[in-house]
Structure 1
Amino acid sequence: MNAVGSWCRMSSACALRTGPVAMRWRQRSTPSRAKERANISFFIFIMFFAVFGVIVLTELLLLERPPSGAPRSRYLESLQSLERRTEKGGDGGDQLPPAHSPQDAVWQPVAGTRFKFYVYSAYMERRTVAAVRVIAATRTHGTEPVVCRIWLTDNRTVTVKARVKPIRENWNMKYSATYVLCLLRGSGVKPQETVGASVAVVAAATPNRPPTNLLTVLDTEPGSGIDETLHVCVKPFHFSYSRADWLMEWFELNRILGATHFYMYNESLSAPVACLLEHYRKQGLVTLLPWKLPIVSKIEIRTEGQFAAFNDCLYRSMSSAGWLLVIDVDEIVIPRRERTLIALLTAMRAAYNPSAKAPSAFLFRNTFFYMHWEDDVEAPAPLVTARKTRRWASPHAIKNRSKYALRPRDAVELGNHFLWEMAPGVSCVGVPIERALLHHYRMVCEYGGMQCLTVPSVVDRTAHRWAEELMQRITAEKTSISKTCPI
């Protein structure tokens, strides 16, 4: 150490001289430190967005990749091997047999996928494409590739490529009702040969993995003598549906109007309603199917996966129904001239020029009958359809809350209020309100209580035409089930 330094440590005079210098240094360093902190904050900000961008980019890239644990090269090799087998007609001789018996109308998982993937039922398809059509539910966007393995009744086993097609009415939620089309082209298998076969949907990344699902392929070929039959399809029951008295009235009025069979899906029912449906099932009137879809309703998928139910109902009824009516259990289509819906539908088709192709689907305009509006003093019976006769003066427009009847053989994809796709050359038309209306017996006001008090309304007693017969049928049914059902 030099002499000046030693002297300065011992000298108060030196300390006095160096004090202002240190103060000036600290004053100059303050802006520098503020700038340094600003630079650090800016660096953290940039790093946050960089990390976020990497995460998003990784997620997008992984959507196109096989599940974790399956190398990309092995994934491509599996697909290429599958394509080679399919081009040769498919062998499948080295495939492991299914672990359980085939099932129908049960949600089963597809193993080996990164996202939820479930299958419910399978149908023969030959109108738009040669395929087995599987009703499924999986991710709406970025669906994972799968293949189909089919065990035919003549002991052949084939593995074919599949196309995953989300059903269009999915409200852009994370999961959607979906079609899986098991494509038969080049497999050497005709669509008719798949009826009665077993099919499994398997992740394409692991095509040799034993399947975790197995469905029976059902026939869709229309039978003879079914043109004048009317079946009814409704969305899944949920929240322990409990309106047993009303449901009996709904059933019996639809039967008077010509319905002979009902397809229903059970997520949850109250005990009285379950007993009532069992009563109708024993009569051969109801097909009641379990509906426990392991995807969160209204958060991950639209209400109870209802669009999968609508389209399962379409293909399930195709071989036995001349007409299919798609409505909710608080709605009834009321013809205004004819006595039955079959008579209405027949007359509507006959009205078209024979040289033109008659429509195969008819849309009915919706009108609300609010349950909290006053009862009709002229009601001929203590029934909802007799008491509640005040409705909106102006029905909704077509495709706005409308419901429909269709010939199942001519439809491809159903929505809630209209059809998304018909077979080639087939049309759909609206029904004039002077011919029929959709009576919607709404429990709550659609747009808030005050608006329901001011909306223009009229009294419509068309349903009174069936009141006497309806009351007689309900009385007889209640007597019939009084000992077994607490209705």
Structure 2
Amino acid sequence: MMRGRSRSSISRSKERANMSFFIFIMFFAVFGVIMVTEFLLLEKHNGPARSRYEELQSWDGKASHEGVTEKQLPAQAPQDAVWQPVAGTRFKFYVYSAYVERRTVAAVRVIGATKTRGADSVFCRIWLPDNRTITLRAKVQTIRENWNLKYSAVYVLCLLSKTGVKPKDTIGATVAVIATADAATPPSNLLTVIDTKPKPGIEGALHVCVKPFHFHYGRSEWLIEWMELNRLLGVSHFYMYNKTMSEQTTCLLNHYREHYGLVTLLPWNLPIISVTEIRTEGQFAAFQDCLYRSMSSAKWLLVVDTDEVLIPRRERTLPALLEGLSASYAPAKVPAAFLFRNAFFYVLWEDDPQAPAKLLTACKTRRWTTPHVLKNRSKYVVRPRHAVELGNHFTWELLPGATSVGVPKDLALLHHYRLNCEFGGMSCVKVPSTVDRTAHQWSEELMKRVTAEKKLLAKACPKIFPA
């Protein structure tokens, strides 16, 4: 009898093990199909960067110019960094910001979100500073990384060919994206056109772009450490987008914005359902806005999440690393983007007994032995002036002739302080790991900075940051 029970128990254990293995394999299979579909369909519909550029040039030559007329600017003031609807379209269509485009084609480039394929045809109406008004047909260009969901981040290109208007003439202009060229139809959105020409004195300036905060983001304790470590590493500005965050995080970021001028914090209330209709909170629209918003003031732009830190392994700062990498190429061959490999430092792994401070980056030093390959979880630093379209783990489009290259892991590594195991449960226990104490180089100074900022926050926000 006991033997029968034992055999039955063994059989059930084997069945559970087989089922777990089957689920594990199916997860990878489904994930693989999604990724392959993403890349294949995106290339099919959008083509490689060069072909998209050539297509745009060709389309630009055929742009429909509807005429130059004198029209009074609408009474309401134009806005920037606010999601506004395009009325009269069949599908959801929203626009957020507008920028001067001089490099690929002569245009006003509008950041928006709408149908991934088969988007509505739209027009641009531009009220120029010299009191002229032009109405012209626009080109809607889908941002490639959208997982084939119904809606996607898009560019709306207001192409200026044959209008006699130069890109510089649109600086400070007001633009509306409209569903009809009928002059009697009032616009449902008005955007200020922002210049993108690099300003003097930005050599070495490194800025950071972060995807929108959501789910009432509230990891304030960690965010202080993350901000201060990035500042130690040479970051001089952060672009952040707020869907929802905790009261404590709001106070924290307002402190950095008001006290140091370090943060550009923008509202992000896109009325398209996240995950089911569009990629996470329309994050790729935020990346493109960040790219063009930083273009005039940053030499380098680092695109990372708030649980990631790019750590140089020989230099003390990231600008020093980037200058060293650039110097290894001939001036005309310097890459426009550098890609860095990702390694998980799981937060649930044990603390380092040699941690020199009570900081997450000091205590969590165990990581994957073998980092991910490039373009899988990697992040990047790009020169905004040479970029056209950003992705999550790599750049989708650079200017013609510009290149991106991977950086060896012995020069720099992306430390990814992940709260949960990659595949759920305790699967991370079986991952080959090693101890990496590179971040300890900054621990002493970092602890001083974090302590000082907490004291300032206790004065600025006494109710939510107690002394």
What interval of TM-score do these two structures reach, taking the shorter chain for normalisation? Answer: 0.7 to 0.9
- Distance in 2 (CA, whole Å) between partners of 1:432 and 1:193 is 44
- Structure 2 residue 91 is matched with structure 1 residue 111: no
Indicate the structure (1 or 2) with the bigger Cα radius of gyration: 1
Q: 1:112·1:206 contact (CA, 8 Å) conserved in 2?
A: no
- Distance in 2 (CA, whole Å) between partners of 1:435 and 1:429 is 13
Q: 1:377 aligns with which of 331, 334, 353?
A: 353
Structure 2, unaligned runs of 5 or more = 1-61
- Distance in 1 (CA, whole Å) between partners of 2:166 and 2:150 is 35
- Structure 2 residue 158 is matched with structure 1 residue 163: no
After the TM superposition, which residues 278-293 of structure 1 pair with which residues of structure 2 at under 5 Å, given as runs?
A: 278-282=254-258, 283-293=260-270
Q: 2:135·2:181 contact (CA, 8 Å) conserved in 1?
A: no
Q: Helix, strand or coil: the match of 1:399?
A: coil
Q: 1:97·1:210 contact (CA, 8 Å) conserved in 2?
A: no
Deviations 1:243-263 (A, max 9, x none): 000000000000000001000
- Distance in 1 (CA, whole Å) between partners of 2:329 and 2:415 is 26
Partner of 1:259: 235
- Distance in 2 (CA, whole Å) between partners of 1:231 and 1:398 is 22
Distance 1:91 1:465, change over 3 A: same
Structure 1, unaligned runs of 5 or more = 1-81
Q: 2:123·2:181 contact (CA, 8 Å) conserved in 1?
A: no
Amino acid at match of 1:297: S
> Post-superposition shift, 1:305?
0.1
Q: 2:295·2:385 contact (CA, 8 Å) conserved in 1?
A: yes
Q: Helix, strand or coil: the match of 1:137?
A: strand
> Post-superposition shift, 1:360?
1.4
Q: 2:159 aligns with which of 174, 178, 183?
A: 183
> Post-superposition shift, 1:176?
0.3
Q: 1:364·1:403 contact (CA, 8 Å) conserved in 2?
A: yes
Deviations 1:35-57 (A, max 9, x none): xxxxxxxxxxxxxxxxxxxxxxx
Q: 2:311·2:415 contact (CA, 8 Å) conserved in 1?
A: yes
After the TM superposition, which residues 235-384 of structure 1 pair with which residues of structure 2 at under 5 Å, given as runs?
A: 235-282=211-258, 283-354=260-331, 356-384=332-360
Amino acid at match of 1:477: E
Q: 1:99·1:211 contact (CA, 8 Å) conserved in 2?
A: no
> Post-superposition shift, 1:319?
0.1
- Structure 2 residue 227 is matched with structure 1 residue 223: no
Distance 1:214 1:387, change over 3 A: same
Partner of 2:111: 135
Q: Helix, strand or coil: the match of 1:171?
A: coil
Q: Helix, strand or coil: the match of 2:426?
A: helix
Q: Tell which deviates more after alignment, 448-457 or 238-247.
A: 448-457
Amino acid at match of 2:99: Y
- Distance in 2 (CA, whole Å) between partners of 1:205 and 1:333 is 48
Amino acid at match of 1:149: R
Distance 1:185 1:369, change over 3 A: same
- Distance in 1 (CA, whole Å) between partners of 2:218 and 2:110 is 32
- Distance in 1 (CA, whole Å) between partners of 2:342 and 2:183 is 48
Partner of 2:44: none
Amino acid at match of 2:389: E
Deviations 1:429-454 (A, max 9, x none): 00100000000000000112332011
Amino acid at match of 1:463: A
> Post-superposition shift, 1:455?
0.5
- Distance in 2 (CA, whole Å) between partners of 1:96 and 1:471 is 57
Partner of 1:7: none
- Distance in 2 (CA, whole Å) between partners of 1:341 and 1:208 is 53
Q: Helix, strand or coil: the match of 2:222?
A: helix
- Structure 2 residue 187 is matched with structure 1 residue 214: no
Superposition TM-score, scaled by structure 1 size: 0.81
- Distance in 2 (CA, whole Å) between partners of 1:99 and 1:110 is 18
- Structure 2 residue 158 is matched with structure 1 residue 148: no
Q: 2:140·2:154 contact (CA, 8 Å) conserved in 1?
A: yes
> Post-superposition shift, 1:96?
6.3
Amino acid at match of 1:132: V
Amino acid at match of 1:108: Q
Q: 1:170·1:176 contact (CA, 8 Å) conserved in 2?
A: yes
Partner of 1:457: 433
Superposition TM-score, scaled by structure 2 size: 0.84
Partner of 1:55: none
Partner of 2:33: none
- Structure 2 residue 376 is matched with structure 1 residue 403: no
Q: 1:362·1:430 contact (CA, 8 Å) conserved in 2?
A: yes
> Post-superposition shift, 1:483?
2.1
> Post-superposition shift, 1:208?
3.9
- Distance in 1 (CA, whole Å) between partners of 2:311 and 2:72 is 54
- Distance in 1 (CA, whole Å) between partners of 2:175 and 2:296 is 20
Partner of 2:25: none
> Post-superposition shift, 1:204?
3.1
Aligned residues: 401
- Distance in 1 (CA, whole Å) between partners of 2:199 and 2:73 is 33
Q: Helix, strand or coil: the match of 1:297?
A: coil
- Distance in 2 (CA, whole Å) between partners of 1:216 and 1:84 is 23
> Post-superposition shift, 1:83?
7.4
Distance 1:417 1:84, change over 3 A: closer
Q: Helix, strand or coil: the match of 1:370?
A: coil
> Post-superposition shift, 1:207?
5.5
Amino acid at match of 2:150: K
